[in-house]
């Protein structure tokens, strides 16, 4: 740390110079301004770090069809980096489309059969007016529905997904604490965050499946109840053996009522089956949207892992994008002056090797010291749209403190000591 005091009232001149490496340093910038009060400058060395480093991987498994960006290329968010081969996706889409057609056809066929039964019952009611013969009620029709008894498995899947999410949340909370304390890299923290978000999505998906299966079970239960009532009514009519045309008419009307309820239940279940089939179709089609691998942020490609024709899996790092549009300057501040650094403060940041001075802003002052040291990490952010500053370059941060602020700080420290 360099402490500079300038007497009152004098003319203060700040000379910001380049690094001397066997040659004479050249002045970069001169600030001359008359001051009516004394001033301190806190000057600390640091290093430039990327604003972001993002790992890019494929969302689905597949073979790399093309790689369109190389190491060192600058890309913008949304720009295509690579693309996967569609593989057997066309066949999977065709099968899903066929399944939708099959389910719709089965539903239409069942509706036609039920309508025929309704017409027969109506004919029976009309005939009962002139006939004394007992008409046997027709039982309600329940069409077969594939994958009907999946509620128990769906509920188990929700529990498993919730348990997995709980574990991932614990891992994320621990990783977040380590990341905020500077003990975990941004790349590792991003990986843990992606795992947690996937676990949350799995829970939502499993809950939707339970809701669908619960609705199915509810409809089946209603149907079974109606069927039980129908059987009781039928037995009662069989036992009575009444030949009255009026009784025949009543029986037929009861059958018609049950048939209509059965038709409504069947129609609802058919809608659910069609909706499930269409959902599966959309899920398969959505795989096409995941074939292109695009850049999530602006930045330079600093790593490339993959070759055309290679099979890649979700989570495998294909690209590393380093965002240098902004930079973090990390400095280690001694504990004696750490409270003079506050978030939101403006600082001058000099990059001696490049002869560049930029305005920066303090965005993070750690509450915990560096491990084994009595210094605290402080982060300063600077704009770097022209990318003239690169990661790792040496930086010199200068924080100006006026005398009034210093005296207040000293008084507060003294008061605290006396207490």
Q: What is the pLDDT of residue 247?
A: 61
In this structure, are 183 and 97 located in the same domain? yes
Residues 6 and 64 in one domain: no
For residue range 273-309, what is the model confidence (pLDDT) as tens digits?
Answer: 888 888 888 888 888 888 899 999 999 999 999 899 9
Q: 245 and 313 share a domain?
A: no
- Give phi and psi for 319, each to the nearest 5: -130, 150
Boundary of a domain, candidates 289, 306, 339:
289
Closest to 110 in 3D by CA, of 140, 136, 138: 140
pLDDT at 144: 54
Whether residues 138 and 244 fall in one domain: yes
Number of domains in the chain: 3
Tokens linked to 22: 């066997």
> Is pLDDT of 91 > 60?
yes
The CA distance from 321 to 301, in Å, is 5
pLDDT at 30 over 50: no
Q: What is the pLDDT of residue 34?
A: 27
Structure tokens at 242: 């009444």
Predicted pLDDT of residue 164: 87
pLDDT of residue 212: 82
**What's the CATH code of the domain at 397?**
2.40.30.170
Mean pLDDT of 86-102: 86
Indicate whether this model's pTM tops 0.85. no
If asked whether residues 299 and 243 sit together in one domain, one would say no
> Both 97 and 47 in a single domain?
no
Regarding whether 114 and 233 lie in a shared domain, the answer is yes
331 & 314 share domain: no
Digit-coded pLDDT (tens) for 142-170: 555 544 457 788 788 888 888 988 988 88
pLDDT at 25 over 50: no
Which pLDDT value is given to residue 356?
95
- Bridge partners (DSSP) listed for residue 355: none
Residues 359, 260 share a domain: no
Identify whether residues 28 and 149 lie together within a single domain: no
For the segment 323-372, what is each residue's pLDDT rounded down to a tens digit?
999 999 999 999 999 999 999 999 999 999 999 999 999 999 999 999 99
Q: In this model, does residue 26 exceed pLDDT 60?
A: no
Do 156 and 298 reside in the same domain of the chain? Answer: no
| Domain of residue 311, CATH code | 2.40.50.100
Which range among 51-60, 217-226, 335-344, 392-401 shows the weakest confidence by mean pLDDT?
Answer: 217-226
Q: How far apart are CA 398 and CA 117, in angstroms?
A: 90
Residue-number span of the structural domain to which 183 is assigned: 89-289
Cα 41 to Cα 139: distance, rounded to the nearest angstrom = 93
| Same domain for 238 and 114 | yes
**Alpha carbon distance 299, 51 (integer Å):** 10
Q: What is the pLDDT of residues 105-117, one digit of tens each?
A: 888 888 888 788 7
Is the peptide bond prior to 9 cis by the omega test (within 30 degrees of 0)?
yes
């Amino acid at each position: 740390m360099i402490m500079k005091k300038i007497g009152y009232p004098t003319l203060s001149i700040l000379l910001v110079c380049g690094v001397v490496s066997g040659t004479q340093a050249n002045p970069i910038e001169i600030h001359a301004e008359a001051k009516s009060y004394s001033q301190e400058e806190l000057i600390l060395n640091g290093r430039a770090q990327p604003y972001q480093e993002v790992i890019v991987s494929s969302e689905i498994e597949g073979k790399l069809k093309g790689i369109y960006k190389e190491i060192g290329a600058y890309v913008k968010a949304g720009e295509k980096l690579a693309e996967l081969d569609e593989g057997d996706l066309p066949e999977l889409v065709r099968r899903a489309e066929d399944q939708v057609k099959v389910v719709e056809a089965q539903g239409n066929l069942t509706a036609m059969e039920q309508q025929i039964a309704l017409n027969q019952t109506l004919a029976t009611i009309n005939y009962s007016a002139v006939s004394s013969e007992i008409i046997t009620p027709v039982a309600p029709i329940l069409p077969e529905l594939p994958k009907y008894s999946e509620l128990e498995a769906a509920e188990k899947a929700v529990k498993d997904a919730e348990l997995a999410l709980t574990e991932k949340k614990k891992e994320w909370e621990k990783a977040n604490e380590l990341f905020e304390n500077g003990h975990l890299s941004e790349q590792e923290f991003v990986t843990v965050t992606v795992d947690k978000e996937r676990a949350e999505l799995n829970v939502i998906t499993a809950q939707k499946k339970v809701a669908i299966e619960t609705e199915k079970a509810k409809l089946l239960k209603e149907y079974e109840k109606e069927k039980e009532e129908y059987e009781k009514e039928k037995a009662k009519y069989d036992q009575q053996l009444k030949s009255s045309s009026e009784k025949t008419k009543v029986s037929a009307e009861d059958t018609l009522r049950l048939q209509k309820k059965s038709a409504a239940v069947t129609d609802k279940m058919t809608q659910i089956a069609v909706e499930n089939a269409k959902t599966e179709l959309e899920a398969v089609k959505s795989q096409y949207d995941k074939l292109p691998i695009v850049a999530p942020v602006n930045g330079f490609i600093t790593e490339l892992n993959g070759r055309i024709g290679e099979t890649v899996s979700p989570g495998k790092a294909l690209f590393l994008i380093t965002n240098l549009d902004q930079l973090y300057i990390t400095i280690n501040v001694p504990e004696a002056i750490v409270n003079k650094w506050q978030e939101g403060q403006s600082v001058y940041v000099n990059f001696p090797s490049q002869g560049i001075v930029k305005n920066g802003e303090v965005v993070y002052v750690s509450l915990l010291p560096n491990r084994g040291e009595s210094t605290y990490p402080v982060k300063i952010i600077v704009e770097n749209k022209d990318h003239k500053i690169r990661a790792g370059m040496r930086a010199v941060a200068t924080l100006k403190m006026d005398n009034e602020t210093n005296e207040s700080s000293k008084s507060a420290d003294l008061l605290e000591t006396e207490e």
